[in-house]
Amino acid sequence: MSPESKIHVGADSKTPEGTSRSTPPARASDDPDYAANLKRATLASSIGSALEYYDFALYGLASALIFGQLFFPAMGASAALMASFGTYAVGFLARPVGGLFFGALGDRLGRKAVLMITIAIMGGASTLIGVLPTGAQVGIWAPIMLVALRLLQGFGAGAEQAGATTLMAEYSPTQRRGFFSALPFVGIMVGTLMASGVFAILGQIDRDLLLDWVWRVPFLASIFLIAVAVFIRLRMQESPTFIKLEKQDQISESPFRELIGSSMPSVLRGIGLRMAENGGSYIFQTLGISYVTTVVGVSKSIGPLAIACGAAIGMLVIPFSGALSDRFGRMRVYRFGAALQLVLAVPSWWLLSLGNPYLVVATLAVSYGIGVNVMLGAQCAALPELFGNRHRYIGVAVARETSAILAGGIAPFVGALLLSLLNNSWVPLAIYVLVLSVITFATTFVTPETRGRDLGLAWDAMADPVHGPEAVASESKDRVDA
C-alpha cells in the first residue's frame, strides 16, 4: 500500500482541494492528565535544549578562545583560530545527516524514542571532549579525535531541536501554541547562559592552569545534564499527534520520500526563515567574541559576559515573542525580528570596533538577546506548522539543519577568513549580517501564515486551499473565534 493511500483524513478535515481545516477542540485547561503531560513535555524539551546549546555554545566559546592553542599549537595565531573554527563548522556538516536519519525515525517510531537516543549521543560526545589529549601530547591525532567527536556531537544534535520543536507544537493548546512552543527554547538561553558563565569564570583563572586541565571541567559536566534529561524523558508520554497516527494506521513508511515529493517549497521557506536567526546567533556568539577579543583587544571575560547578558534577555524575549505570534501572527512577528537585526547590523559592529567594554556588553546583549530571539520565539511554532503530520519531524529537521550549515556553521569560519583577508575590518562582518537579515525578511513575505493551523492535517501549509499570509491569518482567527 502506498503512503498516500494510507492517509485517512478525519470527518471534519477535507483534502487540500476542499475548504474545511477545522482544528480539533483543545483539551480543557483543568484536565489533570493533559496538564501533567504538557508540563513533562515542556520540561523534557527544555532540558534537551539546554544541553544542546550548552554543548554548542561551550564548543563555540572554546573555539574562539582556547582550542587553537590546545589542538593546533604549531600554527600561528590567525591560522590556529581558523583551524579551530573549522572544527566548529564540521559539527554542522553532521547535523543534516543526523536530522535526516533521526528525523525519519521520529516520524516512524515516535518523537519520544528518538529524543532519548539523540540526547545520549550528543551529551556523550561532549563529555568525551573533556578527556581528549591535546596537540602537544599526541600531535595530529588530537585534532583528528576532536573532529570525530564534533561530528558525533553534530549527528546527535541534528534532530534534537527538531524533535523538541515538533513535540511541543503537537502538545500545545492551539490558541496558545506560539507561547507554549517557545517555552522549551528558553532552555537554549539557559544552556548558552551556563556556557557563557562558565567561560566568564574561566577567564579569571591563570592562563597556564586553564590550558593545563581546567578547560576540561565544563565538558565533563555534560554528563550530569544527560542524566537529568534521560530521567525526565523516560516519564514523558508520546506526542498526541503521533499516537493518533498510530491508531489510524497513518504512519508514513518513507517520510523522506514524502518530504522530497511534496514538501520542498516548505523546506526552502524554513531555510530562508532560519538564515538571519541561526546565522545571527552564531555570528554574535562566536565571531563577535573572537573579534572583540583578538582584534579589538578587550578582556577575554567580556565576550562571554556579554553573551550571558544576551541569554538572560532572551529568556524573556522568546516566550514573549511566541505569545505575540499567537495574537498577531507568526510572520508579522518574525518579520519584525528580521527587520530589527537588519537595522542593528552596521551600528552593532561599529560599536564593537570601538573596544569599550561597556559598549561591547550592551551591543552583543541587545543584538543577540533581542534581535535574534524575537525571530526564534515566532519560529518555534511556525516551522512545525509548515509541515503535514506524517513527515513533520523530518521536515523541521531538514529545514533547521540545512540552514544551520548555510548560516550558522560556516559563519565563524567565513568571518575569520574575511578578517584575515581584509585587514581586520568590521565592515564585511556587518554586510554579512545584513545579507542574512535581508534573506529572512524577504522569506516572511512568501511564507504562509500558519497561526492556529490544524496539526492533524497530512498536507503542508503550502498546500492549503487559501495560503496567502493575510488570508490564512484571517481564516485562522475566524476558526479560533468560532
| C-beta separation of 155 from 374 below 8 A | no
Number of structural domains, the chain? 1
Q: What is the DSSP letter of 447?
A: S
CA distance 102 to 121: 12
DSSP conformation letters of 276-343: HHHHHHHIIIIIHHHIIIIII---TTHHHHHHHHHHHHHHHHHHHHHHHHHHH-HHHHHHHHHHHHHH
d(CA 324, CA 420): 41
Q: What is the CA radius of gyration of the chain?
A: 22
58 touches 195 (CB < 8 A): yes
**Does 26 reside within a domain?**
no
Surface-to-core class of residue 24, CB atoms within 10 Å of its CB (0-12 exposed, 13-18 middle, 19+ buried): middle
448 grid coordinates: 504562509
* Separation between Cα atoms, residue 373 and residue 32, nearest integer Å: 32
Ordered DSSP codes for 137-187: HHTTHHHHHHHHHHHHHHHHHTTHHHHHHHHHHHHS-GGGHHHHHHGGGHH
Q: Which of 334, 345, 338, 312 is nearest to 385 (CA)?
A: 334
Q: Which residue in this structure is represented by grid cell 551529551?
A: 123
Instruction: State the pLDDT at residue 182.
Output: 92
Q: Is residue 273 part of a domain?
A: yes
11 in any annotated domain: no
Q: How many CA atoms lie within 13 A of 201 on its CB side?
A: 10
Q: Let me know: does 83 contact 75? Beta carbons within 8 Å.
A: yes
Q: Cβ distance 411 to 279 under 8 Å?
A: yes
pLDDT of the residue at 194:
82
Quick one: cell of 255?
517520510
Distance CA(323)–CA(333), nearest Å, equals 10
* 272: CB partners within 8 A, 6+ apart: 403, 439, 440, 442, 443, 447
The residue whose grid cell reads 577567564 is 203
pLDDT, tens only, 137-193: 888 888 888 888 888 888 887 777 788 888 888 888 889 999 999 988 888 788 877
Q: Does 21 map to a domain?
A: no
Q: Could you tell me if 220 and 130 are in contact, meaning their C-beta atoms sit under 8 angstroms apart?
A: yes
Determine contact, residues 206/120, Cβ cutoff 8 Å.
no
Q: Output the pTM of the full model.
A: 0.77
Q: For the residues of 387-438, what is the DSSP string, one character each?
A: S-TTSHHHHHHHHHHHHIIIIIISHHHHHHHHHHHTTT-SHHHHHHHHHHHH
pLDDT at residue 385 in the model: 95
Strand partners, 13: 21
**pLDDT value at residue 21:** 41
Is 6 inside any structural domain? no
Measured between alpha carbons, how far is 380 from 171 in angstroms, rounded to an integer? 13
For residue 15, is it within any domain? no
Q: Could you identify the residue written with the cell 497516527?
A: 245
Q: Does the residue 315 lie in any domain?
A: yes
In a domain, 417, yes or no: yes
Instruction: In whole angstroms, give the CA distance from residue 115 to residue 229.
Output: 10
- What's the pLDDT tens digit per position in 375-427? 999 999 999 999 998 899 999 999 988 888 888 767 777 777 887 788 888 88
Taking the CA atoms of residue 194, residue 197, residue 203 and residue 204 in that order, the dihedral angle to the nearest 10 degrees is -130
**54 DSSP 8-state letter:** H
List alpha helices for 28-173, DSSP H: 32-65, 67-71, 77-109, 111-129, 135-138, 141-157, 160-171
Write out residues in the chain with pLDDT < 70, as ranges.
Answer: 1-31, 74, 76-77, 409, 465-482
Q: Can you tell me the distance from the alpha carbon of 264 to that of 19, in angstroms, rounded to the nearest whole number?
A: 23
Domain containing residue 455: 31-234+256-481
- Cβ(295)–Cβ(424) under 8 Å? yes
**CA nearest neighbour of 300 among 53, 58, 80, 62:** 62
Sign of CA dihedral 451, 452, 455, 460: negative
Q: Is 212 exposed, middle or buried (0-12, 13-18, 19+ CB in 10 A)?
A: exposed
Distance CA 462, CA 265 (A): 7
User: Residue 110 has what pLDDT?
Assistant: 84
Q: Which three cell numbers stand for residue 213?
A: 586541565
Percentage of residues in the chain with pLDDT exceeding 90?
A: 24
CA distance linking residue 359 with residue 346, whole number of Å: 14
CATH of the domain at 472: 1.20.1250.20
DSSP assignment letter at 13: B
Q: The cell 527538531 sits on which residue?
A: 162
